[in-house]
């Protein structure tokens, strides 16, 4: 008997042999008798199956003991990498099957109630049922109940099957390093393999002197994992070094994956080390200073020779080696098998043919202004919008992708760039294309400039390419194709006969930094394959990372090897410029890619990162790095997920650094973007000044006004449409911007006004676009740049006057003649004081001169528009400057059609041809101008006919001495 509350509902459940149940629902009342049902013990689930997927390639998980109808407790071992589970179940007639489990919230891992899922699919059906919320990736075991039930009258009969899902533990990734090398994995047969969590045996070759190794691994999930390496347990493998026994020729170290869940099934990975005594291989090369570069074909490891040209190599291993030197024809051996005993390899390089070229003035020959990667010049660039004008804009490509226009350089009298699959040289005064050449293929995004050296132009191409061109003819000379490929996203740096650049494939992929001899080794071909002098491979590769190179070292920053810019750590590397061997490196203490060139100044290297830091490191003469210093940058917020990132190569001058900073939204206007000025002596930010867009590229600083005004001017572009060119005026000790302009935006429906850096010029119309280009300049102070409109542009000081420095040889004309500029010299005088001979570029009327043309105008029309009154755009077109020349115009001679002062038979023929063409309606033939028609009417009847032609012919033959209208003698009196 039970005391129950009348009117309430209850269920009576009977159980037999643990798993079998019957339930009857009833409502309590006084004196009620409930007859309990007897459970049915005939097993109701005849088959069940669990899968990892729902498609045709699904894998079935096998229980430790086969599922049987009478087995009500089954254990499965499920990999910890599985987070989705699918099921089928076959029930006896009249039964349905429901899966019952705790529901795990995917985003938190917390339990949120019980989940019941009807399994409608029988074993063998083409479809399966997904069990939501059952599993997460990780090592925690889960339990699920399969309940078969049917109802007869008021009784529900059901029975339970418990499925225990324990987890097998795996590594997600594993690398092994020894002797500063990442070891290659092979299987037992020696075939190269990559890591897979399901493969447990890995074989590696090491030298018999290798005394330790470092495993680097990640687990299927974070938390609660550990590892046992050999006999020692480690909660984390970070920084773990495992000893090896150098007396053993082979050694196996077990790496076991553990978990805090006692039910978890560990996995043991066997690391087999095959040890070999290295063989001394000596390279005897001619010339003796040629570089030998060795790469293990199996491991990808670079091996460097000593001062005697000897390298210690594992016997039987396959190596690729190159022997190169500037001025010689390089050679490469793809598969050199290391012998069992010491050996000598003799290589004699052939001297390359001499290549003659005319040296050209290196005005701005590469990404930055000088060999230190600084952007400091001493030319009078314009400083106010009113005195600045856009002179020309030439579209060379399309958009910002593979068809984009590249950034420019200045060599001799030309501006060089590239777009799509063409290389161009442009006239700096007019922007007209004066030469072009065919590239092997396109670049990736054209975010870098070409580089000039030794009469050649070097351009980075997609898929790890660099192509060299003759600077005068733009004919191709050679092409390099990198073994790892990648985007050519780094500047190309020239030093002492070699160029240095890097490539990028992806944030978590390897890419190379390379050194190439610039020598044209086969002048008879334009497509010869360039052999690298050396390569340096780095995880994450190199993106906008510009090298600084001396005879002793190469400084180059790296990406951080991880996605985004809030995890992973970049490095600053110092490499041997001749061999590529690592001299020194510093791993940066804060996350984020290092995507700027290294600016060198007074013994220190300066660079920035996307993690929001400005760095400086001391550099010894031998390339050793030390004394890393840093400043956290500022973007008017403190959001770790959106740091004040910078990819700007610092401009360093007079104890100050100038860089561009991103706001919290890289492509959101006024979100904290700014130009930052750093005081290097106090090692603090002096001040910041807002911009509309992220000044993502590098600045240009001029010292030309320092003596007269006591300040420098610094220029940056906004990477936000329209791509404003801004100017900063600064001096030591200054703690705030002193020239600003107010700019207003609407954010969240609210109008906000900011004080921003002053604007020098605003591209408008077709030229308005995002701008990823660092400004460059020449002696004229003209600033050259491109943006995502694919226009190349030139902005400079306004012309205040055109000056006639030499009069034309001819100043006296008969009416009807055309102006002859021979002997004339016109000089443009600019607001900044620069003067340029523009005789070749001026325009003037080509029409026959009239009596009224005694004041003749010469114009310079290569001019477009400017900003005025704080507003930018083509609505403020600039008036072309002009100057006049005084001419003497004498009346024309009747019958003289070509204004040569004589009357000839040819003049008669011209009149006759005009008449015949006019009468027949012929188009395209010779016709007379209005001034010529007046001279042709020699009989004075007001018409030009064949009678006039006859009279002119008679005069030319001496048959008549005067015309009815007017005689020649009267005309000349």
Question: Residue 301 falls within a domain, yes or no?
Answer: no
748 or 704: which carries more pLDDT confidence? 704
pLDDT band at 968 (very low <50, low <70, confident <90, very high): very low
Q: In terms of domains, do 779 and 811 share one?
A: no
Q: In terms of domains, do 562 and 467 share one?
A: yes
Burial of 224 (0-12, 13-18, 19+ CB in 10 A): middle
SS3 label, residue 191: coil
Burial of 924 (0-12, 13-18, 19+ CB in 10 A): exposed
Burial of 99 (0-12, 13-18, 19+ CB in 10 A): buried
Q: For position 732, which CATH number holds?
A: 2.130.10.10
Is residue 143 within 8 A of residue 23, CB to CB? The reply is no
Question: Residue 190 falls within a domain, yes or no?
Answer: yes
List of residues 6+ apart from 384 with CB closer than 8 A: 760
- Spatial distance between the Cα atoms of 207 and 964, rounded to a whole number of angstroms: 113
Tokens of 492: 């190309």
Question: Residue 851 falls within a domain, yes or no?
Answer: yes
Question: Residue 292 falls within a domain, yes or no?
Answer: no
Q: Rounded mean pLDDT of 11-38?
A: 94
Q: In terms of domains, do 644 and 537 share one?
A: yes
Across 547-586, b (16+ Cβ under 10 Å) vs e yields bbbeeebbbbbbbbbbeebbebbbbbbbbbbbbbeebbeb
Domain boundary among 137, 168, 199: 168
SS3 label, residue 947: helix
Q: What is the pLDDT of residues 553-592, one digit of tens each?
A: 999 999 999 998 888 999 999 999 999 999 999 999 999 9
Instruction: Give the range among 267-271, 286-290, 329-333, 747-751 with minimum mean pLDDT.
Output: 747-751
Q: What is the pLDDT of residues 445-457, one digit of tens each?
A: 999 999 999 999 9
Number of folded domains in the chain? Answer: 5
| Sheet of strand 604-608: strand arrangement | 599-601, 604-608, 613-619, 625-632
- Spatial distance between the Cα atoms of 768 and 722, rounded to a whole number of angstroms: 4
Q: In terms of domains, do 915 and 869 share one?
A: no
Tokens of 905: 């038979």
Q: Rounded mean pLDDT of 407-428?
A: 98
Percent of the chain as helix, strand, coil, to the nearest 5 = 5, 45, 50
Q: What is the pLDDT of residues 603-619, one digit of tens each?
A: 999 999 999 999 999 99
Is residue 532 within 8 A of residue 294, CB to CB? The reply is no
List of residues 6+ apart from 557 with CB closer than 8 A: 542, 545, 570, 571, 572, 573, 594, 595, 596, 598, 607, 609
Q: For position 825, which CATH number holds?
A: 2.60.40.3630
Q: In terms of domains, do 672 and 620 share one?
A: yes
Q: Of 812, 820, 815, which is closest to residue 858 (Cα–Cα)?
A: 820
Q: Rounded mean pLDDT of 840-866?
A: 94
If one counts every other C-beta atom within 10 angstroms of the C-beta of residue 763, the result is 27
Q: Please tell me whether the overall predicted TM-score, pTM, comes out greater than 0.75 for this model.
A: yes
Q: Rounded mean pLDDT of 214-238?
A: 92
Q: What is the pLDDT of residue 920?
A: 83
Please say if the pLDDT value at position 937 is more than 60: yes
Q: Where are the beta strands (DSSP E) in 59-95?
A: 60-61, 73-79, 86-91
Q: What is the pLDDT of residue 969?
A: 46
Q: What is the pLDDT of residue 971?
A: 42
Backbone φ, ψ for residue 951 (5° rounding): -65, -40
Please say if the pLDDT value at position 874 is more than 80: no
Q: Which residue has 């090298």 as its token pair?
A: 547
Relative to beta strand 451-453, strand 712-717 is: unpaired
Relative to beta strand 20-27, strand 45-51 is: unpaired
Q: Which residue has 């090491």 as its token pair?
A: 206
- Spatial distance between the Cα atoms of 780 and 787, rounded to a whole number of angstroms: 22
Q: Rounded mean pLDDT of 146-167?
A: 96
pLDDT band at 182 (very low <50, low <70, confident <90, very high): confident
Residue 957's region, left for phi above 0, alpha for psi from -120 to 50, else beta, is alpha
% of the chain at pLDDT higher than 90: 84
- Spatial distance between the Cα atoms of 19 and 762, rounded to a whole number of angstroms: 81
User: Which residues is 694 bridged to in the sheet?
Assistant: 719
Q: What is the pLDDT of residues 101-156, one digit of tens each?
A: 999 998 888 999 999 999 999 999 999 999 999 999 999 999 999 999 999 999 99
Question: Residue 281 falls within a domain, yes or no?
Answer: no
Q: In terms of domains, do 119 and 178 share one?
A: no
Q: In terms of domains, do 736 and 837 share one?
A: no
Q: Of 804, 768, 765, 797, which is closest to residue 878 (Cα–Cα)?
A: 797
Domain of 962, in residue numbers = 905-972
Q: In terms of domains, do 589 and 717 share one?
A: yes
Q: What is the pLDDT of residue 8?
A: 95
pLDDT band at 970 (very low <50, low <70, confident <90, very high): very low
Domain boundary among 168, 192, 210: 168
Q: Rounded mean pLDDT of 473-501?
A: 98
pLDDT band at 892 (very low <50, low <70, confident <90, very high): confident
Question: Residue 342 falls within a domain, yes or no?
Answer: no
Burial of 98 (0-12, 13-18, 19+ CB in 10 A): middle
Q: In terms of domains, do 911 and 881 share one?
A: no
Please say if the pLDDT value at position 683 is more than 70: yes
Relative to beta strand 388-395, strand 791-797 is: antiparallel
Q: Which residue has 């733009």 as its token pair?
A: 474
Is residue 191 within 8 A of residue 103, CB to CB? The reply is no
Q: In terms of domains, do 910 and 857 share one?
A: no
Q: What is the pLDDT of residue 500?
A: 99
Q: What is the pLDDT of residues 319-374, one digit of tens each?
A: 999 999 999 999 999 999 999 999 999 999 999 999 999 999 999 999 999 999 99
Q: What is the pLDDT of residue 966?
A: 53
Is residue 606 within 8 A of residue 615, CB to CB? The reply is yes
Q: What is the pLDDT of residue 583?
A: 98
- Spatial distance between the Cα atoms of 77 and 73, rounded to a whole number of angstroms: 14
Is residue 944 within 8 A of residue 907, CB to CB? The reply is no
Q: What is the pLDDT of residue 109?
A: 85
Q: For position 946, which CATH number holds?
A: 1.10.1330.10
Q: In terms of domains, do 695 and 715 share one?
A: yes
Question: Residue 24 falls within a domain, yes or no?
Answer: no
Is residue 636 within 8 A of residue 665, CB to CB? The reply is no
Q: Of 196, 192, 207, 201, which is closest to residue 298 (Cα–Cα)?
A: 192
- Spatial distance between the Cα atoms of 728 and 713, rounded to a whole number of angstroms: 6
Q: Which residue has 């917020």 as its token pair?
A: 637
Q: What is the pLDDT of residues 54-89, one digit of tens each?
A: 886 788 999 998 888 888 999 999 999 999 999 999
Q: Rounded mean pLDDT of 629-633?
A: 99
Q: What is the pLDDT of residue 558?
A: 98
Q: In terms of domains, do 805 and 792 share one?
A: no
Please say if the pLDDT value at position 205 is more than 70: yes
List of residues 6+ apart from 876 with CB closer than 8 A: 865, 866, 867, 868
Domain boundary among 241, 276, 311: 276
CA angle 404–407–412, rounded 5-degree value: 130
Q: For position 192, which CATH number holds?
A: 2.60.40
Question: Residue 14 falls within a domain, yes or no?
Answer: no
Please say if the pLDDT value at position 973 is more than 70: no
Is residue 570 within 8 A of residue 557, CB to CB? The reply is yes
């Amino acid at each position: 008997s039970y005391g129950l509350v009348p009117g309430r509902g209850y269920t009576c459940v009977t159980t037999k042999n643990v798993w079998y149940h019957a339930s009857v629902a009833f409502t309590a009342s006084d004196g009620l008798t409930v007859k309990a049902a007897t459970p049915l013990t005939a097993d109701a689930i005849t088959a069940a199956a669990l899968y990892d997927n729902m498609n045709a390639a699904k894998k079935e998980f096998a229980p430790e003991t086969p599922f049987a109808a009478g087995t009500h407790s089954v254990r499965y071992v499920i990999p910890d990498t599985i987070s989705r589970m699918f099921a089928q179940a076959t029930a006896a007639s009249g039964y349905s099957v429901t899966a019952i489990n705790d529901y795990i919230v995917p985003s938190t891992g917390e339990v949120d109630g019980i989940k019941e899922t009807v399994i409608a699919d029988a074993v063998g059906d083409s479809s399966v049922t997904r069990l939501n919320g059952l599993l997460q990736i990780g090592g925690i075991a889960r339990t699920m109940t399969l309940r078969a039930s049917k109802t007869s009258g008021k009784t529900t009969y059901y029975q339970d099957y418990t499925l225990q899902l324990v987890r097998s533990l795996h590594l997600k990734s594993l690398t092994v390093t020894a002797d500063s090398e990442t070891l290659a994995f092979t299987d037992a047969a020696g075939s190269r393999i990559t890591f897979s969590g399901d493969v447990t045996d890995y074989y590696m070759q090491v030298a018999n002197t290798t005394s330790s190794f470092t495993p680097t691994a990640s687990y299927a999930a974070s938390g609660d994992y550990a590892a046992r390496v050999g006999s020692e347990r480690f909660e984390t493998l970070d920084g773990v070094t495992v000893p090896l026994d150098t007396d053993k020729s082979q050694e196996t170290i077990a790496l076991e994956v553990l978990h805090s869940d006692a039910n978890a099934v560990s996995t043991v990975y066997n690391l087999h080390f095959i040890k070999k005594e290295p063989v001394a291989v000596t390279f005897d090369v001619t010339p003796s200073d040629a570089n030998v570069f060795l790469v293990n074909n199996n491991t990808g490891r670079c091996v460097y020779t000593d001062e005697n040209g000897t390298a210690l190599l594992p016997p039987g291993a396959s190596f690729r080696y190159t022997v190169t030197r500037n001025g010689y024809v390089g050679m490469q051996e793809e598969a050199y098998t290391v012998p069992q005993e010491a050996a000598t390899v003799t290589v004699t390089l052939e001297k390359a043919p001499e290549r003659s070229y005319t040296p050209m003035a290196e005005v701005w020959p590469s990404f930055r202004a000088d060999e230190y990667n600084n952007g400091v010049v001493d030319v009078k660039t314009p400083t106010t919008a009113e005195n600045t004008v856009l002179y020309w804009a030439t579209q060379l490509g399309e958009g910002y992708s593979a068809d984009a226009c590249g950034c420019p350089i200045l060599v001799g009298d030309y501006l060089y760039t590239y777009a799509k699959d063409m290389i161009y040289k442009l006239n700096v005064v007019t922007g007209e294309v004066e030469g072009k050449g065919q590239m092997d293929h396109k670049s990736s995004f054209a975010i870098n400039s070409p580089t000039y050296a030794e009469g050649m132009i070097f351009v980075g191409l997609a898929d790890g390419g660099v192509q060299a061109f003759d600077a005068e003819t733009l004919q191709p000379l050679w092409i390099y194709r990198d073994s790892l490929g990648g985007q050519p996203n780094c500047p190309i740096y020239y030093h002492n006969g070699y160029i240095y650049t890097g490539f990028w494939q992806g944030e978590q992929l390897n890419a190379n930094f390379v050194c190439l001899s610039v020598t044209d080794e086969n002048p008879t071909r334009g497509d010869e394959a360039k052999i690298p002098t050396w390569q340096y491979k780095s995880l994450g590769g190199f993106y906008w990372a510009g090298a600084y190179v001396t005879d002793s070292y190469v400084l180059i920053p790296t990406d951080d090897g991880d996605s985004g810019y809030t995890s992973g750590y970049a490095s600053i590397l110092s490499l041997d410029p001749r061999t590529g061997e690592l001299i020194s490196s510093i791993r940066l203490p804060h996350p984020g890619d290092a995507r700027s060139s290294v600016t060198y100044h007074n013994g220190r290297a300066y660079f920035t990162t996307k993690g929001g830091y400005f760095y400086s490191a001391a550099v010894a003469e031998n390339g050793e790095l030390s004394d890393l210093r840093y400043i956290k940058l500022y973007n008017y917020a403190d959001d770790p997920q959106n740091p004040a990132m910078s990819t700007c190569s610092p401009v360093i001058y007079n104890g100050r650094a100038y860089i561009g900073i991103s706001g919290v939204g890289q492509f959101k206007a006024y979100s904290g973007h700014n130009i930052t000025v750093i005081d290097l002596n106090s090692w603090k930010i002096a001040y910041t000044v807002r911009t509309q867009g992220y000044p993502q590229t590098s600045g240009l600083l001029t010292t030309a006004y320092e003596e007269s005004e006591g300040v420098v001017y610094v220029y940056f572009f906004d990477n936000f449409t329209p791509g404003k060119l801004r100017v900063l005026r600064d001096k030591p000790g200054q703690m705030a911007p002193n020239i600003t302009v107010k700019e207003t935006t609407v954010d969240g429906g609210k109008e906000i006004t900011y004080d921003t850096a002053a604007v020098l010029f605003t591209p408008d119309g077709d030229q308005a676009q995002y701008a990823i280009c660092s400004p460059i300049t020449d002696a004229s102070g003209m600033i050259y740049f491109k943006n995502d409109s694919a226009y190349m542009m030139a902005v400079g000081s306004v012309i205040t006057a055109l000056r006639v420095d030499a009069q034309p040889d001819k100043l006296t004309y008969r009416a009807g003649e055309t102006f002859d500029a021979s002997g004339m010299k016109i000089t443009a005088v600019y607001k900044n004081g620069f003067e340029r001979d523009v005789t070749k570029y001026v325009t003037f009327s080509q029409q026959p001169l009239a009596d009224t043309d005694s004041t003749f105008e010469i114009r310079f029309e290569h001019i477009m528009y400017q900003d005025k009154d704080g507003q930018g755009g083509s609505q403020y077109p600039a008036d072309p400057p002009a100057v006049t020349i005084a001419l003497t115009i004498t009346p024309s001679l009747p019958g003289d059609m070509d204004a040569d002062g004589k009357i000839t038979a040819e003049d008669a023929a011209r009149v006759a041809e005009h008449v015949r063409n006019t009468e027949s309606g012929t188009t395209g033939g010779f016709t007379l101008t209005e001034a010529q028609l007046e001279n042709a009417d020699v009989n004075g009847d007001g018409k030009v006919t064949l009678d006039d032609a006859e009279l002119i012919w008679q005069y030319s033959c001496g048959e008549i001495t005067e015309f009815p209208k007017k005689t020649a003698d009267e005309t000349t009196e």
